[in-house]
Structure 1
């Protein structure tokens, strides 16, 4: 039975495992219900958001762990060839046309694949 997240807060909600509500016995099709009536006595739903997570469409999504601090990210702008176009060791130029580059290897021996 298609049940919406807001069904639990509706006056018409059946609180029955076999019925969704008094109007839409089998649930609703689509993403909203035209017959939704807010139940003033319903318990508010608290969306607890742990650090590093966000809610998308009512689902908690944990964001990947960031390995760079804000300061490190700013310093990276000053020296990394992704941003400068030059090797930090010998200053030779890298081809800036390849935007999907992952490995940064220079003929002088400098290598970086951490970005």
Structure 2
């Protein structure tokens, strides 16, 4: 029987393996239920999240940890081609179409961006 995550916290949930709820015995149709009523006695779902993580559509997403100090991050603005438009090694100018650029490797001198 189909059931959605909210069923376990619904006042109408039957807690019966053969019957989902009083209104929708075989489970709700779709991703949500218009008849959902929060059960005040239901255990609260704890959405614990570690530092540098957050929930997105119910899934815990952990952000990658960067090992750069605040000073190193600010210094990056002074030399990285994404901010300067030039290669830090040979000073060659990069193409100005930065919207789709992922890598900042220099075709002139071969400098490779290892910050990503």
TM-score, normalised by the number of residues in structure 1: 0.78
CA displacement, residues 60-87 of structure 1 (integer Å, 9 cap, x when unaligned): 2223333544443332221111221112
CA displacement, residues 83-111 of structure 1 (integer Å, 9 cap, x when unaligned): 2111223323222236425142253x461
Structure 1 partner of 2:50:
50
Structure 2: how far apart are the matches of 1:5 and 1:71?
A: 44
Q: Cα distance 1:32–1:106, how it changes in 2: closer, same or farther (>3 A)?
A: closer
Q: Structure 1 residues 90-99 or 30-39, which shifts more?
A: 90-99
Gap regions ≥5 residues in structure 2? none
Paired residues, number? 114
Structure 1: how far apart are the matches of 2:30 and 2:77?
A: 46
Structure 1 outlier segments of 4+, above 6 Å: none
Structure 2 partner of 1:40:
40
Structure 2 partner of 1:84:
84
Q: CA RMSD in A?
A: 2.3
